[in-house]
Amino acid sequence: MRPLLFGLMLIANVGWAQANQVTLKYDDGTGVSGELLEFTDGNFRIQASVGLISIPAQDVSCIGDACPAGTELELRSAPVKLTSLDGSIILTGDVIEFADGDYVLATDIGEVRINADKVTCEGAGCVSSQEPVSRDVVLVNGNTIIEGELVRLEDKAYIINVAQLGEVRIDATSFQCRGEACP
């Protein structure tokens, strides 16, 4: 448990030390974190671990309190409060995804990944510690119904495995999810 606490304390200290900390996230889920130095002419300039970089705003979404208006990652509201098992550390944010047993949160200091086994979770975005009995979901938008097995939730989209079609990406903001596996 010590590495988790150290990691969480390190994250908290970085947040205080660098008020301009952001994560710039591409549509494919990759991203880069660093200190936002400026945002001019539609370009982010950040000091990242690899050095000073410039990224066009049209290519990314921004996560963190320092993000300029209109560049923030749009999330379905899934706020959570994660508390270390000993109760000494609390981290809040919005769930971007739950992958490989980790919560990936959008926080005030950018994107943070925390192992679910090391924390307790409170809030709408919490994932049950037990896998659902069934991964089957029904996505509904008016008369449109799509049935399949939920693979994951990624960048505001349900990724579901539909019989005879394979994996299909469905806009999560346009469809209501029904089923035990729904986030």
**pLDDT tens track for 150-180:** 888 888 888 899 988 889 999 989 999 998 7
Strand, coil or helix: what is 29? Answer: coil
Cβ–Cβ < 8 Å for 125, 94: yes
Cβ–Cβ < 8 Å for 120, 85: yes
**CA-to-CA dists, residue 20 to 17, 101, 125, 156, 171, angstroms:** 9, 29, 26, 25, 31
Q: Is the pLDDT of residue 79 over 90?
A: no
Q: Is pLDDT larger for residue 8 or for residue 133?
A: 133
pTM score, whole prediction: 0.53
Q: Is the pLDDT of residue 12 over 70?
A: no
Q: Is the pLDDT of residue 64 over 90?
A: no
Q: What average pLDDT does the segment 97-122 reach? A: 86
Tokens describing residue 147: 């049935």
Q: Is the pLDDT of residue 16 over 70?
A: no
pLDDT tens digits, one per residue of 130-155: 454 577 899 999 999 999 998 888 88
Q: Quick one: pLDDT at residue 19?
A: 73
* pLDDT band (50, 70, 90) for residue 119: confident
Q: What average pLDDT does the segment 83-89 reach? A: 85
Q: Is the pLDDT of residue 5 over 60?
A: no
